[in-house]
Chains A and B, each alone.
Chain A
Amino acid sequence: MKILVCICPVPDTTTKVAFSDNNTHFNTQGVTFIINPYDEWYSLVRALELKEAGVATAVHLVTVGKADAEPVIRKALALGGDEAIRIDTDSNDTYAVAAQIAEYAKTDGYDLVLCGKESIDYNNGTVGAMVAELLDMNYLGFAAKIDIAGGTATVTREIEGGEETDACSLPLVISCQKGVAEARIPNMRGIMAARTKPLKVVAPAAVDTVSTIVGYELPPAKTGVKMISADNMDELVNLLHTEAKVI
């Protein structure tokens, strides 16, 4: 069984987001990029566990990105994985990104595609379901637990207002969140090994772009906090009613 893990580089969570060129570009100056936490902590680690348990035969990592994504891919390879694929293009259009991954996946017959429930930069959470549709596969979103045996995945996942456990035969696309695995820290051996692991750069497929980001905006700053004495909670409740009008 071969697993493809989608890896997305994202700005470090402490990043103070800023924009340039009249608010049309995300300013990456001084920004550190990390592996999207959902990809790193959950999908990648679960894929590695499945390989260690002898269930998976190969774990490949795929990223859609330019050469500047490579340090992040190497970090992912330091955690594990047999090889990485970088599809040499960059896009903010979620359809285009998903289509690139799907086109690549078609060339190498994967039984399982894992991704994070969303990337923490653009928060779309769309790539997994799109890849599933483009590959005509089933999709289970928001997994909190994944087991695989005899070509069937048993997945516990979040649904509206609760949880559901499903069984589904492979091939399958799953998006992962908390619960699927415990985050790992790369060790020295992993970091050394990552340097020599294959990182294939493939040319992008001819894919249409159907949306573009034309601008950004920061949320309005709060205008200042009104402090209320801990002994006067009636006033707070009153303000929430008459001023904020939320209760």
Chain B
Amino acid sequence: MSVLVLVEHSQGVFKKKSLEAVQYAAHVAKELGTSVTAVAVGNVDNAAMQGLGAYGANKVLHTTESRLENFNSRAYTKVMLAAAQKESAKVIVGLHDTVGKAVSPRLAARLKAGMVAGAVGYPDLSKGFVVKKNVFSGKAFAFVNVTSDVKVITLMPNTFQVVKGEGSATVENLDIAFDDKDFSIQVKEVSKASGSVPLSEAELVVSGGRGLKGPENWHVLEGLAKELGAALACSRPVADSHWRPHHEHVGQTGGTIRPNLYIAVGISGAIQHLAGVNGSKTIVVINKDAEAPFFSAANYGVLGDALEVIPKLTEAVKRFKANH
């Protein structure tokens, strides 16, 4: 028996959300009285894999097939199936991201395993295997009881604390007999935004709405985001008007995010927008209308014109950084 967890890395460095997943797996394994096996794919060195031990992994299964460099749900599912079999996995943990949302359901379907997609809590074993998850795009939570023998869970990033402890994981090779069918998707072109943190993983987010008047004013927000080291987001009309790229659109029909800090600038706070962001730990609203509904969903509010307030806030952040 074991708890299996798929870990993702970027150029050999494990992502923070994957460390969250390892830590989550360790928590579940402890309750079940078993161990954690992580599965890593591609170019990552031994020291990094051993290092997952500090987050609770006992073992890392590593597969180096070069064709796995481009993510492909069929081939990854084969990797995870082989690992699950080898380790007699009872719980399989992944992330609720573009990788986990493609691999985990395939795996669940193959194993006829109940799945919790987008978990925000640890399993409650006193009532079966009950896991809390986001529903209605953040308007509520559901408690899902998984009744199959094997359970598959994907985690909302930025939800679980990562605490680094002691320990080192053992690393083993995982050899898999692929066939051509596993790689029948031909990759034509890949473009990756370099450097910036993807919105779904960002701890700090600065978001703009129609109140910013036009794309020409975005440099003001960018200035604040840069000073904070925050990712940028926007409301739907902003993306629809092509002021900003679609992947920055958050809300019920865009991304659902859970940053530590969400700064909403010139956004009214419509129910569809709030749905995607109300899991944020702290919300700051900057709006010139005291009646804007967003204020009642906020922790801190500033009444004023965005284009005047933001530069002042940026300066204040600068001063803060100089002193800390």
Contacts from A to B (Cβ < 8 Å): 11, 13-17, 19, 37-38, 93-95, 98-99, 120-134, 138-142, 144, 154, 158-169, 178-179, 208-219, 222, 225-231, 233-234, 236-241, 244, 246-247
Given contacts A17-B139, A211-B144, A213-B143, 10 further A-B contacts (CB under 8 A): A129-B103, A129-B106, A158-B247, A165-B190, A219-B138, A219-B139, A222-B297, A225-B301, A236-B316, A237-B319
Q: Please indicate which of the listed interface residues B8, B74, B101, B204 has the most CB atoms of chain A within 10 Å of its own CB.
A: B101
Smallest CB–CB gap between B296 and chain A, Å? Answer: 7
B112/A225 in contact, CB under 8 A: no
**Contacting B252 at CB < 8 Å: which of A93, A120, A210, A237?**
A120
A228 touches B253 (CB 8 A): no
Nearest-Cβ distance from residue B194 to partner chain A, whole angstroms: 9
Q: Count contacts on B: residues with CB < 8 A to the other chain.
A: 102
Closest to B74 in A: A138
* Distance in Å: Cβ of B13 to nearest Cβ of chain A: 13
B117 contacts A94, CB within 8 Å? yes
CB-CB under 8 A for A214 and B316, given A13-B252, A123-B256, A163-B191: no
Map CB proximity to A onto B115-126 as digits: 1 under 8 Å, 0 otherwise.
111100000000
Within 8 A of A (CB), among B124-149: 127-128, 130, 132-148
Q: Within the assembled complex, what's the spacing in Å between the Cα atoms of A228 and B137?
A: 30
Please report the C-alpha to C-alpha distance between residue A146 and residue B144 in the assembled complex, in whole angstroms.
34
Closest B residue by C-beta to A19? B140
Q: Is the interface of A mostly helix, strand, loop or mixed?
A: mixed
Instruction: Tell me the minimal C-beta distance from B163 to chain A in angstroms.
Output: 16
The answer to whether A230 and B309 touch across the interface, beta carbons within 8 angstroms, is yes
Interface residues of B in 167-188 (CB under 8 A from A): 184-188
**Chain A: CB-nearest residue to B156:** A123
| Structural contact, A139 and B316, CB atoms closer than 8 A | no
Question: Which of the residues B190, B261, B302 comes within 8 Å of A159, measured between beta carbons?
Answer: B190
- Complex CA–CA separation, A133 to B308 (angstroms): 53
* Interface residue? B71 (CB, 8 A): yes
Contact in complex: B106, A139 (CB < 8 Å): yes
Question: Within the complex, which residue of A94, A125, A139, A166 is in contact with B188, where a contact is CB–CB below 8 Å?
Answer: A166
Q: What are 20 A-B contacts with C-beta separation under 8 Å? A: A94-B115, A120-B252, A122-B135, A126-B104, A129-B103, A132-B106, A139-B106, A158-B98, A210-B148, A211-B114, A214-B143, A222-B283, A225-B300, A226-B301, A231-B312, A233-B315, A237-B313, A240-B282, A246-B261, A246-B281
Q: Which of B71, B147, B284, B315 contacts A212 (CB 8 A)?
A: B147
Check if A133 sits within 8 Å of B106, measured CB to CB.
yes
Q: Are B185 and A125 in contact (CB under 8 A)?
A: no
